[in-house]
Structure 1
């Protein structure tokens, strides 16, 4: 006799052993598509109007005097970030490109179930999710008590992630505020009264371009990793090189670097020896300026550049412009004090970034075990 495979997840709350029931979403829920909103019912307060931008960014937009969907319910994005589900605890009206689900299933459980599984839409044009497609989507449903426990657990986990995200945002805002006040000399540490010295940045620092590689010189493997701008931000893929170059083309742990193409800003390199790309400067400092102070001074300068630039304009920075910048620097003791202060904040930011990344990784791993794959 062939053994019937049970429909159960890898991990469960204590006391539950029944198989989950696989059903099409349309069989256990009522799904409707959002539409254009009647401007006559728009108000400053009332029932939220849910659109794609609100789902993607978790913000409130505008309101309606009446609602179309009664809570608890779900919204699912039909375009853009397709298939992203959100539990809704207040009555609302969905607009175009948003699908709404009214269901007897626990909405927190169902939202996590939908988000956990990929909805792949085959399309020759712009991908979109329709009511018939979502209705045919299969979900595994446990007893209501187990749904509720899973939903509550995931809400707690999401709240923990949100709290850490807000803490990280607060630290970044705090640092931004201190950068402005300290480098505008509106705020100083006790015991320091001497005037800051004005000079050109080029009088305290030398900016060295990295290696301009030909595509044929970038290898899939080799002796030295090639550090590119993207490796500081979102790109985890690496090229390599076997070239033996002058020492100025190598970056070692602790070197102060500056990315100046596309995405720009200062960094202290924390990795092993690499060859840094042409779109990165290595900054060599003389005894006028401390490294950590220089890092934060350049970070404050970056903020000013961004504040004075139209967000749609590509920022272009030249070596000559950097070296010609007029800067104000205090004596080395005050520089060290300022540098150490910001190092503490930077370390806190890094710790919280790692914690947030770990929490998200743990949630992803748990979802793979809490739901049937």
Structure 2
């Protein structure tokens, strides 16, 4: 009887040890991917600091070979325009086909880390006609929160196909002088919240955004910079998704291996 109890305790101890080792290894792998992701994000921030002019300068600290011209100062309103959103009643929401109608919360959807590729709501042409909504067809554009606490998150997302946005969201539509990947990256260097109008709810007007001064290189240098940062963003997104999958895997094992 006693020996049987000893064997049971031994089996339980061995199983506990194996489970502990399994989760220890999984935690190490997760921590490794977390460190890689953190380093990549830090690397990107370092490049943003060095490859864009600072403090009124017209020359960045670090450049690709073959580019030496001074960057030109422009107001955003001179090289594009803002577009405000429209009201989106609850009764019109929930569609799954048609034109994407983006809300600030759509930026959180998987796959939308850099560019808006899917929405929680779509509207059809019957709705567009009945509500007299005008699709924003002048793309590419960048969208961001226009009002409320979401402004402080300073998130921006690229949009490359026709869309609509609700009235808590604003778009900046690029003109032809931009390389789009460069434009998206340049917007990442702008601390938009500092331009918000202070009140009960912080907000932007189109003129607040269009009056922002930026410094732009020629189109050739924009293309080089845009491709470089897009590749870096793709690598960061890949590591982010790997990390999320590992975290989901751990959660699944915890649910299955413990009562």
In structure 2, the residue matched to 1:230 is: 105
In structure 1, the residue matched to 2:73 is: 198
TM-superposed deviation, 1:182: 1.3
- CA distance 1:284–1:237, shift in 2 (3 Å): closer
In structure 2, the residue matched to 1:145 is: 14
Quick one: which of 170, 176, 198 aligns to 1:281?
Answer: 170
Distance 2:95 2:216 in 1: 43
- CA distance 1:20–1:307, shift in 2 (3 Å): farther
- The gaps in structure 1 that reach 5 residues or longer are 1-18, 22-140
Distance 1:345 1:189 in 2: 16
SS at match of 1:143: helix
Matches within 5 A, 1:188-267: 188-217=63-92, 219-221=93-95, 223-224=97-98, 225-233=100-108, 238-242=120-124, 243-244=127-128, 245-248=133-136, 255-261=141-147, 262=150, 263-267=153-157
Q: How many residues in Structure 1 have an aligned counterpart in Structure 2? A: 227
TM-superposed deviation, 1:274: 4.9
Provide TM-score, normalisation by structure 2.
0.75
| More strand as a share of residues | 1
* The structure with more radius of gyration: 1
TM-superposed deviation, 1:234: 6.7
- CA distance 1:177–1:239, shift in 2 (3 Å): same
SS at match of 1:175: helix
Q: CA RMSD in A?
A: 3.3
- CA distance 1:20–1:281, shift in 2 (3 Å): farther
After superposition, what is the alpha-carbon deviation per residue over 1:47-105, rounded to whole angstroms, capped at 9, x for unaligned? Answer: xxxxxxxxxxxxxxxxxxxxxxxxxxxxxxxxxxxxxxxxxxxxxxxxxxxxxxxxxxx
* Larger RCO (CA under 8 A, 6+ residues apart): 2
- CA distance 1:350–1:174, shift in 2 (3 Å): same
Q: Could you tell me whether the CA contact under 8 Å between 1:251 and 1:275 is conserved in 2?
A: no
- CA distance 1:279–1:307, shift in 2 (3 Å): closer
Higher deviation after alignment, 159-168 or 236-245: 236-245
- CA distance 1:164–1:267, shift in 2 (3 Å): same
- The gaps in structure 2 that reach 5 residues or longer are 1-6, 54-59, 111-117
After superposition, what is the alpha-carbon deviation per residue over 1:143-162, rounded to whole angstroms, capped at 9, x for unaligned? Answer: 11111111011011011011
